[in-house]
Amino acid sequence: MAEANDDLKALIRTIPDFPKAGIQFRDITTLLLDAHGLAQAVERLAGAVRGPIDLVAGIEARGFLFAAPLAIRLGAGTLLIRKDGKLPGATIGEDYALEYGSDRITIHADAFAPGARVLLVDDLIATGGTARAAVRLIRKAGATVDQATFVIDLPELGGADALRSDGIDVVTLVTFAGH
Ligand code: AMP
């Protein structure tokens, strides 16, 4: 049966065994290359957003590609969530577990006033580890985040459901089976 965003799904390329054996890498560069597909992805992400948003927070690096156009579309600013050591000003950060070891994401400590309404965006949600850490970080910094949008969901990895259990309304455009 045809699904709502099958046209966008057809523009996403799968590269097997990247960056390591067993991973099916869902490559959005082919979606970005398509003028209509890119515009429609942003439009459909925007269409799912409820209420006023002050900032669209994109997760490094592919989340940035959707965050800024989405922010323009919503009349909001763009907040960069970056890997540790990349932002030039004073930061606050949040650690999250990886399969092996841990990682840290950061935002500028003075990025927003308390109570700012933030929408979280990334290209893809898998286990949800990154997005959940982003939600903890935004909340720790005093903003409100109750919506997150992703172009791609890998539902078998459970990230979207985990994010919902954190009180986030999650919208995704296309799903892929498996990992
Ligand atoms: P996770 O924290 O497990 O939800 O992983 C999400 C992050 O890893 C996103 O920023 C994605 O860009 C990237 N990612 C994870 N799995 C894949 C995959 N199969 N294909 C492309 N990107 C992925």
Domain borders along the chain are 2-175
- β partners of residue 73: none
pLDDT tens for 73-92 read 999 999 999 999 999 999 99
- β partners of residue 145: 118
For ligand 1, the distance from its centroid to the CA atom of residue 153, given in whole angstroms, is: 9
Number of helices and strands in the chain (H, E): 6, 9
The span from the CA of 149 to the CA of 170, in Å, is 6
Nearest CA to ligand 1 atom 18: 25
- State the burial class of residue 173 (Cβ atoms within 10 Å of its Cβ: 0-12, 13-18, 19+): buried
Max intra-chain CA distance, the chain: 50
- Active-site pick, 13, 43, 62, 139: 62
- Report whether 123 contacts 96 (CB < 8 A): no
Query: Rounded to two decimals, what is the model's pTM?
Result: 0.97
Mean pLDDT along residues 65-77: 98
The span from the CA of 56 to the CA of 148, in Å, is 9
pLDDT at 99: 82
Nearest CA to ligand 1 atom 5: 126
Taking CB atoms and a 6 Å cutoff, what residues make up the pocket around ligand 1? 23-26, 59, 62, 122-131, 159
Identify the DSSP state of 49: -
**Ligand 1 atom closest to Cα of 26?**
20
Mean pLDDT along residues 51-61: 98
Q: Which CATH code, of 3.40.50.1980, 3.40.50.2020, 1.10.1060.10, 3.30.565.10, is assigned to 2-175?
A: 3.40.50.2020
Mean pLDDT along residues 118-143: 98
Statement: residue 31 has pLDDT above 80:
yes
CA dihedral 61, 66, 68, 69 (to 10 degrees): 160
Active-site residue 132, yes or no? no
Active-site residue 13, yes or no? no
Statement: residue 2 has pLDDT above 90:
no
Mean pLDDT estimate for the chain? 97
For ligand 1, the distance from its centroid to the CA atom of residue 130, given in whole angstroms, is: 8
